[in-house]
């Protein structure tokens, strides 16, 4: 049981490039979410999903897209990276209130 896994651990992009952050969970959780962590801001919700085929926006969704084709996977897409998207990204999954987090992806946009 690996829990929540995220790839890559680190990524450097140039402004305007696109990429997908991968997230997978093996706990059969319906609820999955993406957060970004910035200094002094805590964790802010980007997008979330309550099940396969169902996604919704969180607090800071602009510049990010998500899809949920399976229960296990919840990728986060940056369509055109901007320096303001430099952050640490965490994926989480849960069945009820307690969320389990992945180890994070540290993204730098130059």
Partner 1 sequence: DQQVKQNSPSLSVQEGRISILNCDYTNSMFDYFLWYKKYPAEGPTFLISISSIKDKNEDGRFTVFLNKSAKHLSLHIVPSQPGDSAVYFCAASAVYQAGGTSYGKLTFGQGTILTVHP
Binding residues for partner 1, rule: CB under 8 A, are: 4, 30-31, 33, 35, 40-45, 48, 50-51, 54, 58-59, 90, 92, 94, 96-104
- In this complex, which beta carbon is closest to partner 1, that of residue 14 or of residue 40? 40
CB nearer to partner 1: give 14 or 97.
97
CB of 76 to partner 1, least distance (A): 15
Give the DSSP letter string of 8-55.
Answer: -SEEEE-TT--EEEEEEESS--SEEEEEEEETTTEEEEEEEEEETTEE
State the minimum distance, in angstroms, from the CB of residue 64 to partner 1.
Answer: 17
What whole-number distance in Å separates Cα of residue 33 and Cα of residue 44? Answer: 10
DSSP state, residue 98: -
Output the CA torsion sign for 35, 21, 110, 9.
Answer: positive
Q: Nearest distance from residue 81's CB to partner 1, in Å?
A: 22
Nearer residue to partner 1 within complex by CB, 35 or 64: 35
């Amino acid at each position: 049981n690996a829990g929540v896994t995220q790839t890559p651990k680190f990524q450097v992009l140039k402004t305007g490039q696109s990429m997908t952050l991968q997230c997978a969970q093996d706990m059969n959780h319906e609820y999955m979410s993406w957060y970004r962590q910035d200094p002094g801001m805590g964790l802010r919700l980007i997008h979330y999903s309550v099940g396969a085929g169902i996604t919704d926006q969180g607090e800071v969704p602009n510049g990010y897209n998500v899809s949920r084709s399976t229960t296990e996977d919840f990728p986060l897409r940056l369509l055109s990276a901007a320096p303001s998207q430099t952050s640490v990204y965490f994926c989480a999954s849960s069945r009820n209130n307690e969320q389990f987090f992945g180890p994070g992806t540290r993204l730098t946009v130059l």
